[in-house]
Structure 1
Amino acid sequence: MRGRQFGRAAICLMTIAATASMTACGKSREATVRPPAAPAAAADADREPDEQAAGKAALDAYSGYLTASRTASRNSDPHAPELSRFLADPLLTRVRVAIREAKEHGAMRTGTLKSDPTVTAVSLNTVPATVEIQDCLDATGYRLVYTKDRRVVPGSGGKRYIATATATRYPDGRWLISAGTAHQDQPC
């Protein structure tokens, strides 16, 4: 029974780690949908730099999220302050729970998680504003290991798969990663 519970924790950790990186495999980019050009074409031209700035800020938050979650996982610290610098609920809670469960089972993450995220959509006219990110996560070098002896936890081997995330702009102007999904059934 304990092994089955730990297996769930390992899957949860891998899912969270996967969500962290949003890189498009094949580098295909989806264009931002804009209304047809109207007399206010100048307004659309002005918006493009805003969308680019939002995309860059979202990617920075995403990169920070990956770094903070790897550090917190390696240190078995679900309350690492860096997490709340880059994450918001509901994803923040999911990441903290996964790190806590791994710690309770005597495990931690080690190695390298490779990411090359791409912005797939920018929605600045929504409340709150959001940016969608896609990533091809390479978790082949990112392992869940037992803390005591660094043995790899069975069934926790990594692979390459697609992950998606949503960055949300909060009232204070910060972009935080608020949602993420690992699509482990979609290799990249």
Structure 2
Amino acid sequence: MRARQLSRWTAGLVAVATVGTTTACGNPPTTAGTTSTDRSRPVGNERVAEEKAAEQAALKAYAGYLSASRSASRRSDPQHPELTRFLADPLLTRVRVGLIKARANGAVSTGTLRSDPTVISVDLDGEPPTVEIQDCLDATGYRLVYVADKKPVPGTRGTRHLATAVATRYPDGRWLISGGSAHQDQPC
């Protein structure tokens, strides 16, 4: 019984630890020759530079998110200070709930999580501006183990799968990862 309950929450924790929930994949944006009828928006080279800067900021936030999540997962610490530096709700809450469940069951994450992210879309005109990221996460060396005996939690074997994330620019200018999804049924 305990193993069945653990496998349910651990599958969710592994997914949250590798990337949260609910975003969609899209096609890469085309930035060459960008034009605008709104005179307040940048055009041409200015627009391309703005989009490139957004891509870089979003990828930096995503790398910070993965690093903060791994650090927090090593101690199942839902209050790890780096989480709020790179994550925003609703993903922040999902990650924290997963960490709370792991702690309650005496489990922590160990191992290595490999990532190879790319930007698939940039929407600087949206409210708020967003950047979508697609990643091939390799969690084959990432495990959830019991603190007491370091034995793997049943049902937590990692896979190599597609993941998506959404970076959102907030009014203070920060890019934070606010949503994401682990597509464990889509190997990469």
TM-score normalised by structure 2 residue count: 0.89
Deviates more, 1:88-97 or 1:5-14: 5-14
Q: Is the 8 A contact 1:32 1:122 kept in 2?
A: no
| Structure 2 partner of 1:31 | 29
The one-character-per-residue Cα deviations of 1:111-147 (angstroms, maximum 9, x if unpaired) are 0000011000010011100000000000000001011
| Structure 2 partner of 1:115 | 115
Is 1:104 matched up with 2:104?
yes
Q: Is the 8 A contact 2:7 2:155 kept in 1?
A: yes
Q: SS state of the match for residue 47, structure 2?
A: helix
How far does residue 38 in structure 1 lie from its aligned partner after superposition?
6.9
How large is the Cα RMSD of the aligned pairs? 2.0
Deviates more, 1:93-102 or 1:30-39: 30-39
How far does residue 2 in structure 1 lie from its aligned partner after superposition?
3.0
Q: Which structure shows the higher helix fraction? A: 1
TM-score normalised by structure 1 residue count: 0.89
| Structure 2 partner of 1:57 | 57
| Structure 2 partner of 1:151 | 151
- What letter matches 1:132 in structure 2? E
| Structure 2 partner of 1:14 | 14
1:167 to 1:38, Cα distance in 2 relative to 1, 3 A: closer
Instruction: State the identity %.
Output: 59
5 Å-filtered alignment, 1:73-84, equals 73-84=73-84
How far does residue 92 in structure 1 lie from its aligned partner after superposition?
0.2
Q: Is the 8 A contact 2:18 2:137 kept in 1?
A: yes
Task: Output the CA distance in 2 between the equivalents of 1:36 and 1:123.
Answer: 13
Task: Output the CA distance in 1 between the equivalents of 2:16 and 2:47.
Answer: 33
How far does residue 45 in structure 1 lie from its aligned partner after superposition?
2.1
Task: Output the CA distance in 2 between the equivalents of 1:98 and 1:37.
Answer: 44
1:38 to 1:158, Cα distance in 2 relative to 1, 3 A: closer
| Structure 1 partner of 2:24 | none
The one-character-per-residue Cα deviations of 1:45-84 (angstroms, maximum 9, x if unpaired) are 2110110000000000000000001000101211111101
How far does residue 16 in structure 1 lie from its aligned partner after superposition?
1.2
1:93 to 1:102, Cα distance in 2 relative to 1, 3 A: same
- What letter matches 1:177 in structure 2? I
Gaps in structure 2 of 5+ consecutive residues? 21-26
Gaps in structure 1 of 5+ consecutive residues? 21-28
Task: Output the CA distance in 2 between the equivalents of 1:180 and 1:55.
Answer: 16
- What letter matches 1:130 in structure 2? T
- What letter matches 2:129 in structure 1? A
- What letter matches 1:166 in structure 2? V
Q: SS state of the match for residue 82, structure 2?
A: helix
Segments of 4+ moved more than 2 angstroms: 1-5, 31-40
1:85 to 1:151, Cα distance in 2 relative to 1, 3 A: same
Q: Is the 8 A contact 1:6 1:102 kept in 2?
A: no
- What letter matches 1:10 in structure 2? T
Task: Output the CA distance in 1 between the equivalents of 2:173 and 2:67.
Answer: 21
